[in-house]
């Protein structure tokens, strides 16, 4: 059973998604970040209006929330999104480490209107050499320098 507060917050995420379509700013997706019962950030899909394929509602909301909180993690925050997150957004949400995630529409609902991410889920599960996107590893030994420096650094901020 959903609490009244959860319903109010989800309605705001949905309102953002509807407004985004009616204003022609991007896809039908909206998201908010809540902390201590207060909305601290909002986001709506702006992929086409900003020419940024990463400007999904959840990513925009996470960026805005982190800026507002002056942190790179959303500890004790909740994310409400108008649709089940795509693989990119789900990854970003896990990296942001919120306490909870709520969504309205499903990924099947999104696929029904031509926002189908199933191919990405399938590609991630494939061995690298079997993926549709040509992928080739280069210069691993040289790149390990940065990893080794990180491992030995006393100045790093772990996350």
List, for residues 107-138, the tens digit of each pLDDT value: 999 999 999 898 998 999 999 999 999 988 99
List, for residues 13-23, the tens digit of each pLDDT value: 999 999 999 99
Q: Which of 5, 58, 68, 142 is catalytic?
A: 58
Among 47, 70, 69, CA closest to 58: 47
pLDDT of res. 112: 93
| pTM of the shown model | 0.91
Res. 1: pLDDT tops 70: no
pLDDT of res. 2: 75
Query: Taking a C-beta distance cutoff of 8 angstroms, is the pair 59, 22 a contact?
Result: no
Known catalytic residue at 158? no
Whole-number Cα distances in Å, 74 to 24, 33, 58, 66: 29, 9, 13, 7
Query: Taking a C-beta distance cutoff of 8 angstroms, is the pair 101, 79 a contact?
Result: yes
């Amino acid at each position: 059973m959903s609490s009244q507060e959860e319903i109010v917050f989800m309605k705001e995420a949905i309102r953002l998604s509807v407004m985004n379509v009616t204003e022609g700013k991007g896809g039908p997706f909206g998201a908010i970040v809540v902390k201590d019962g207060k909305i601290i950030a909002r986001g709506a899909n702006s992929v086409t209006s900003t020419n940024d394929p990463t400007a999904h509602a959840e990513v925009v909301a996470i960026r805005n929330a982190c800026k507002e909180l002056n942190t790179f993690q959303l500890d004790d925050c909740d994310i409400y999104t108008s649709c089940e997150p795509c693989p990119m957004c789900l990854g970003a949400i896990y990296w942001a480490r919120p306490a909870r995630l709520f969504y309205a529409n499903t990924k099947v609902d999104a696929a029904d209107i031509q926002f189908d991410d199933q191919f990405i889920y399938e590609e991630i599960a494939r061995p690298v050499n079997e993926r549709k996107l040509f992928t080739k590893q280069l210069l691993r030994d040289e790149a390990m320098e940065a990893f080794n420096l990180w491992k030995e650094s006393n100045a790093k901020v772990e996350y």
